[in-house]
Amino acid sequence: MSRTVIVVVDGLGVGAMPDAGALRPGDLSADTLGHVLDHCRATNGRAPQLPALAALGLGLLRPHPALAAPSALPAAVARASLGYPGADTYAGHQTMMGADFSRVTVARLGERLAEVTGALKRAGHTVEPLDGRPLLVVDRHALVHDNLEADPGINWNVSGRLRDLPFERILGIARTVRAVAPVARVIAVGGHAEEPLPASVRQGDCGTVGLDTPATGFYRNGGLRVRHLGAPLDHSRQLPELAARAGIPVTLVGKAADILPCERALRRPAVPTGEVLAHTLAAVRAAGRAAGSDGTALVVANVQETDLAGHQQDPLRFGAVLEHVDRGLGALLAELDAPGDRLIVTGDHGNDPGIGHACHTREYVLVLVHRPGAPPLPGSGAGPARLPDASSLADVGATAAHSLGLDPGGLAGGSPLPV
């Protein structure tokens, strides 16, 4: 039996990678986890209480008084380089699951306006530039624009107010754009905003122009609808498909349900952290009860609200969400106690809320592996062991494949950590 659970804490970086300053020199000081802990302690008089993360050995990766609790958990910890260009949720998850992300192009929408405009008009849409700027107004209400929340040129968005257009129509426009887009993701976004969206358009980095999505109120007003349309990749060589072909039940939770392809997966989309954690725990418990099952299962969950707090540049909210995540991890640790079970806690990029901008930050991410029933690793005694840095997030998927008894060579990339 191996119930293998990957929990991605979206945007939780543990320090800048060496090339983090290539786009924004100030990003060399990025340290999402450290800055969140320090800000909360300075403002609230205490840092967030994270006993589960501390027990898993997070303090070995990012030393901090809040993470100094002794632990006897049989865990292994490592930092992982991202293994893909920039700092992006979609690219991070695809790389983590084993896809080859080398052919995706970085491009600003302004470089492809004629091509996108032609595709939309052929599909029967009305298309106009917005005040002569390099973004498009489609069917009077939807905006096609550069995504300002990731590094320039990685993603494009199609955004609309749900009072103006139903989400299905926004999604249809996004699919037309996706057919001609060379970038990693085209993201369809529908939400509720008091003002027309052009009021929140602003200049981004490196000549990009787009919607300041946090400023619209989409994230705080509720009812947000999002669909991620990814670049064509060989998804057959990703972990969910590899597991499903082997007859292993696969559950995708939170944003992972939106961005990871796998036709046979059970999907549990959710944004509120409590719902994400509840779905994850329920999937773990269901794996052991399934009729005719040996208990083997793969669960991949994404906690999105940490990333949203980073975009909102709100370290106090980030810290509060981390405490909520930690409580959920505690419940998962209590459940995943059989030999062969694995809990892998990781991230997809950084999103430092104190860095001075609302974009992702290119940081190393945590890889914490709970390994009940496994013998202690050399030099670790009874507690967590520090491993060498992983060269790519693809190593997370390869580690999970190995724990499930699958051949990691079936993935497009990655090598299992020695756990």
Q: What is the pLDDT of residues 164-217, one digit of tens each?
A: 999 999 999 999 999 999 998 899 999 999 999 999 999 998 889 999 999 999
User: For residue 251, is it within any domain?
Assistant: yes
- List, in sequence order, every beta strand (DSSP E) within 212-361: 225-230, 250-254, 266-268, 297-303, 342-346
CATH number at residue 274: 3.40.720.10
* Same domain, yes or no: 239 and 381: yes
The verdict on residue 285 lying in a domain is: yes
Q: What is the pLDDT of residues 336-383, one digit of tens each?
A: 999 999 999 999 999 999 999 888 999 999 999 999 988 888 766 778
Within a domain: 419:
no
d(CA 209, CA 201): 7
What mean pLDDT do residues 329-335 have?
97
Residues 237, 99, single domain; the answer is yes
Report DSSP letters for 206-272, one per residue. GG-EEE-HHHHTTTTSS--EEEEEEPP--GGGSHHHHHHHTT--EEEEETHHHH---TT-EEE---S
User: Which pLDDT score, from 0 to 100, does residue 291 have?
Assistant: 43
Block residue for tokens 């659970």: 5
Check residue 293 and give its pLDDT: 59
Using the 8-state DSSP alphabet, how is residue 266 labeled? E
State the pLDDT at residue 71.
86
Residue 288: per-residue pLDDT: 67
CA atoms of 200 and 161, how far apart (whole Å): 12
Distance (Å, whole) CA 410 – CA 317: 39
Q: How far is CA 369 from the centre of its chain?
A: 18
238 token code pair: 């990703």
Locate all alpha helices (DSSP H) within 24-161, ordered by sequence. Answer: 32-44, 51-55, 58-61, 89-96, 113-122
State yes or no: pLDDT of 150 exceeds 60.
yes
Quick one: 239 and 342 in the same domain? yes
Percentage of the chain exceeding pLDDT 90: 82
Same domain, 85 and 214: no
Average pLDDT, the chain: 93
Q: Show which of 230, 252, 275 is a domain's final residue.
A: 230
Domains in the chain: how many in total?
2
The answer on pLDDT for 320 being more than 80 is yes
99 and 159 part of one domain:
no
Same domain, residue pair 344 and 261 = yes
Of 230, 260, 295, the position where a domain reaches its end is 230
Say if residue 250 is in the same domain as residue 183. Answer: no
Q: Which pLDDT belongs to residue 225?
A: 95
Domain encompassing residue 133 = 109-230
Kindly report, residue by residue over 135-148, the tens digit of the pLDDT: 999 999 999 999 99
286 and 261 co-located in one domain: yes
- Measured from the Cβ of residue 50, the count of other Cβ atoms closer than 10 Å reads 25
Q: Report how far apart, in Å, the C-alpha atoms of 161 and of each of 172, 213, 223, 397 are.
A: 15, 11, 11, 37
d(CA 250, CA 265): 5
Q: Could you tell me the pTM of the whole model?
A: 0.81
